[in-house]
Structure 1
Amino acid sequence: MARWMYGTDNYSLPCDGMVMAMLAHSVSMLLIKVAITNGINKYVMVAYSYSLSTIMLLPFLFFLHRSKRPSLTLSALCAFFLLSLFGSSGDMMTYAGIELSSPTLASAMLSLVPAFTFVLALIFRMEEVHWTHYSSQAKVLGTIVSIAGAFVMILYKGPTIFAIVSDSSNKLQFSPQLNWVVGGIFCVGSSLVSSMWYIYQASVAKKYSSVTVIVFFQLLFSTILSVVIALIKVSDPTEWKLKLDMGLIAILYQAIGATLIRYTLCTWCVHRTGPLFCAMFKPLGIIFTVCMGAIFLGDDFNLGSVIGSAIISVGFYALVWGKYKEESNIENLGSSSHNAPLLQYVA
């Protein structure tokens, strides 16, 4: 995929890293669904996961590249806190969305990240649109199509393509159809926050080059935020007790695979290639989640999910194609890198 888009081997390692990150995220979504269905509180799970990730990364902070790190300033700490706010908010929304809908829907909504990134860049005048250029038309059309596909998935479930045995133990707050809609809205919100995270991550990585420090302070601040929220939302002390069950497995995986490893991979890849390249791999999450959900959970897959996923993917790759053509034109014109739009950023 990287060679098709960029025609160079410089992106081979980031390509492999993002494939691993998407696979880790897809497994995470399935485990979240199973753990919540089996009774673990989502706020408690987030708090424990972030806490364990922070503790595990702490030793590396003292030994890796200490002599090459930039000085830790107040502005850097504020930037790390804002990154953690985006990251933890997105995770909370994802957990809520998966609880009310399905891992498949949550994974499909991740493909909205490039579209939201493009819209935010336009709002803040970090990206330009030239309506007479095919590349700009493709970006705008791709954004609209992607968002339309998301609404199709949320508002239309359609008939089930392959049947499952439903788990009635899942505690839903609304009717099944309303749960699906509300869960989809949470997942869209998570994608919006994730796009903010990718954009700001690229800016922070340019100013502060130590990936280990960036990830550690993100996790530390996310731990503080998630623990405070959990203490407010969870009043029953028994919900904090851990048992040898799927909840503990989910927490361990969230801490190691979905948080520590995925955060490190995404931060490193954004630092190497920029946010758009990393966002390009989001549709892989749909494939991974659908396949694993069908095999391990017997998760249902509806006609609306098929249609919506296809529409989102078409819009997604239209946006990426438009961006690729725009970058090619910039290179051909010999433009300097500091005049390139935000989404073309390479740290």
Structure 2
Amino acid sequence: MAVQHGIWKIGAQPQALKPVKLDTELLLEEQISKDISILNANWLLIGRQVYTDFGKPLDLLAVDASGSLIVIELKKHRTPRDVVAQTIDYASWVESLSSNRIVSIYKQFAEKHDLRERNFDQAFQAKFGYLPSEQDINSSHQMVVVAAELDASTERIINYLNDKANVAVNAVFFSVFEDAGNQYLSRAWMIDPGETEEKAINVGSKGQWNGEYYGSFGPSYSWEDARRHNFICAGGGNWYSKTLFMVEPGDRVWVNIPKTGYVGVCEVTDRAIVADDFIQPEMTLQGNYRMAADKGEDNADYFVPVKWIKAVPENQAISEVGLFGNQNSIARPKADKWRHTVERLCSIWGLTL
């Protein structure tokens, strides 16, 4: 069934806002290019009308905090078959892009639109709070079809590609509503974007998940706090914290500090809770943590209480070529590299799990 939704004005009697047609999907592209948070607040737009090596421009190109590239293509009155095929075609080109090419794409985009950050590294750090890792940039990619109207045929094709072909493709549907001469955009994702992000990590991995969770512990936090007070944490935006809610008591998480190495493995003892509820007055903490009372629930830090099976000082972190790495706070990798990582860490730390 095609996506449908509406907006009602609250009052003595609910009043449905009048749905109207967008003049052109080019206007929608303009709005998204001016504020990518219309799609996702945790994406950085790095290109618009990016010409591919086969002479056709993809509409929008973005990157998320994990380094995953997102191909964004507007439907623009094309048939479902055409727009999805075109998006996959562009993704096949994006997959082969080198980091130098990505830097060049952003530079051209920044200069054309007179952006404050002209350098890709600077823009990435300004958006996500840390410098990008060479190995993470374009380590995966996602596809998003944007439509002013999403028909049932497009929905069937995208569901098939996700379910049967394990393709990280999603669709977002915008409706336009009018009230007192003002127009409003309303957005609905066809599939939870978090599912698409996780699928992107595991595209090309045909094996089964080994049941072991990967955890990324942000370098802005105090690892000594985590060791002493038995937690892992993430926050500063929903993209960073939401995956913490994947883990449940009894789950194991192998913890990596990006650009430093693996520092421990823990067993989860309770579900994720907001910083305000986890941090107690008697705790002596070296780090600074975002409280919901100050930053709001979406931007607060969230803590997962754990019991450490093994936790080493940061200067004893394990970093080797061939170990799995990703910026996602929590992930369920299916790659062979992940199985190798767990086996290798067990060997180094003398663990039998």
TM-score (norm 2): 0.23
- Higher RCO structure, 1 or 2 (CA under 8 Å, sep 6+): 1
TM-score (norm 1): 0.23
Q: Which has the higher helix share?
A: 1
Q: Which has the higher strand share?
A: 2
- Higher-Rg member (1/2): 2
